[in-house]
Structure 1
Amino acid sequence: MLASRSPQRRAILEQLGIDFRVEAPEVEERAAGEPRTVVVENALRKARARARPGERVLGADTAVVVDGAIFGKPSGATEAEDVLRRLSGRTHEVMSGIAVCEAGSERSGVAVTAVRFRTLEQADLGWYLATGEWRERAGGYAIQGRGAALVEEIEGDYWNVVGLPVPALLRLVPDLLRS
């Protein structure tokens, strides 16, 4: 079971051919604290909220981190523009916490990918904000969509930036593709 509302996470699991259902929990996500701890704890909170006997439940949380500040999903276009300006011409980290609850046990991990944005002009910001793609996206951009035009380079797992770090997930659940 996937304990997440994220269409990106759903799409990644579908691409892998994994049979699952979605039951998104009503969980308040933390946004303050040490970033790695925050994303792992949020992922655990989601997985625990849907854990039940005989089921494997996956929770995940993704955040963008720059200068130690955690950026989740912007609440509106003004906040999205502020975040994108902060990322412009700089390298930031995308951190995803993943957690699996199964058979009374919990496993969790974190993936970190470095993303460098190109220097964005006002016209770039206006164009991207007008797409609306920034909505419901950690850091206000979608690398798998038009947001790819904002990115200069990445170091690490691309799927982590999309929303679900596949290599880290397979290390956490080695039999995932066989179950």
Structure 2
Amino acid sequence: MSQLYSLILASQSPRRKAFLSQLGYQFESISPDIDESLKPQETPHDYVARLALEKAQSIAKKSADATVVIGSDTCVVYQQRILGKPENLQQCREYLLLLSGTTHQVYTGVAVVQQALSKTSVVCTHVEFDEISDAEINAYWQSGEPKDKAGGYGIQGIGGQFVKTINGSYSSVVGLPLCETKQLLTQFNIFTPFNSTTTK
């Protein structure tokens, strides 16, 4: 990465931090403070794009001019309904029964901001679930994993057992599309040890 820039991830998500570290980026993580409420008539695509940008902008406003900030947001969608993080077992059961035996979409927006300059990308991945029983839902809830996961499951954890097929980006479903993030950062002249040859 160019020494002229510092890089901040506008998230404390361990999954997003692990993905960025995996690619060799050196960065700091800071939690953004924004209103994540859905606006009237807002589509899932527009929702994650807006939140990703607002997260990055909220940190960029408080940072040095040369700082580049990455923001990201993910939502699980079933028939255009955004499924948030379940507040209790009843809501988790509702979400997982909707997804059981069907295909849903996971939208992830990623935005990169430096001062007034910003670039945004949205990735949509189709995920097909196996049939899920009530007993499996109860046991999964007791594991604690669904409580902070959009749609009530984590594909990278125990929830991966429900996934039959995935059409699109696995890393996007987890929370940060690696390919698109790398492409956006390259536009800001930030490279990993694995693509830095492009600067030579």
- The verdict on a shared fold, with TM-score over 0.5 as the criterion, is yes
With the length of structure 1 as denominator, give the TM-score of the two structures: 0.94
Given candidates 152, 156, 160, the residue that maps to 1:140 is: 152
Post-superposition Cα deviations, 1:1-53, rounded to whole Å, max 9, x if no partner, equal: 01113221111112222110111111111334111000000011100100031
- Give the match for residue 21 of structure 2: 14
The CA distance in 2 between the partners of 1:149 and 1:163, in whole Å, is 18
Do the aligned partners of 1:93 and 1:113 also contact (CA within 8 Å) in 2? yes
The CA distance in 1 between the partners of 2:57 and 2:141, in whole Å, is 35
The CA distance in 2 between the partners of 1:76 and 1:59, in whole Å, is 28
The CA distance in 2 between the partners of 1:156 and 1:148, in whole Å, is 15
> What displacement does 1:139 show?
0.9
Given candidates 33, 37, 44, the residue that maps to 2:53 is: 44
Q: Which amino acid aligns with 2:77?
A: V
SS at match of 1:120: coil
Do the aligned partners of 2:141 and 2:147 also contact (CA within 8 Å) in 1? no
The CA distance in 2 between the partners of 1:55 and 1:163, in whole Å, is 22
> What displacement does 1:77 show?
2.4
- Give the match for residue 81 of structure 1: 93
- RMSD over aligned CA atoms reads 1.4
With the length of structure 2 as denominator, give the TM-score of the two structures: 0.85
Do the aligned partners of 1:120 and 1:150 also contact (CA within 8 Å) in 2? yes
> What displacement does 1:103 show?
4.3
- Give the match for residue 2 of structure 1: 9
Q: Give % identity.
A: 38
Identify unmatched segments of 5+ residues in structure 2. Answer: 1-7
Given candidates 174, 181, 185, the residue that maps to 1:162 is: 174
- Give the match for residue 107 of structure 1: 119
Identify unmatched segments of 5+ residues in structure 1. Answer: none
The CA distance in 2 between the partners of 1:176 and 1:75, in whole Å, is 39
Do the aligned partners of 2:89 and 2:138 also contact (CA within 8 Å) in 1? no
- Give the match for residue 152 of structure 1: 164
Do the aligned partners of 1:30 and 1:38 also contact (CA within 8 Å) in 2? no
The CA distance in 1 between the partners of 2:143 and 2:38, in whole Å, is 26
> Bigger CA drift: 6-15 or 33-42?
6-15
Q: Which amino acid aligns with 2:70?
A: L
The CA distance in 2 between the partners of 1:74 and 1:11, in whole Å, is 24
Do the aligned partners of 1:30 and 1:42 also contact (CA within 8 Å) in 2? no
The CA distance in 2 between the partners of 1:17 and 1:77, in whole Å, is 38
> Bigger CA drift: 22-31 or 49-58?
22-31
Q: Based on CA coordinates, which of the two structures has the bigger radius of gyration?
A: 2
Post-superposition Cα deviations, 1:149-169, rounded to whole Å, max 9, x if no partner, equal: 111110111001111011111
Runs of 4+ residues over 6 Å off in structure 1: none
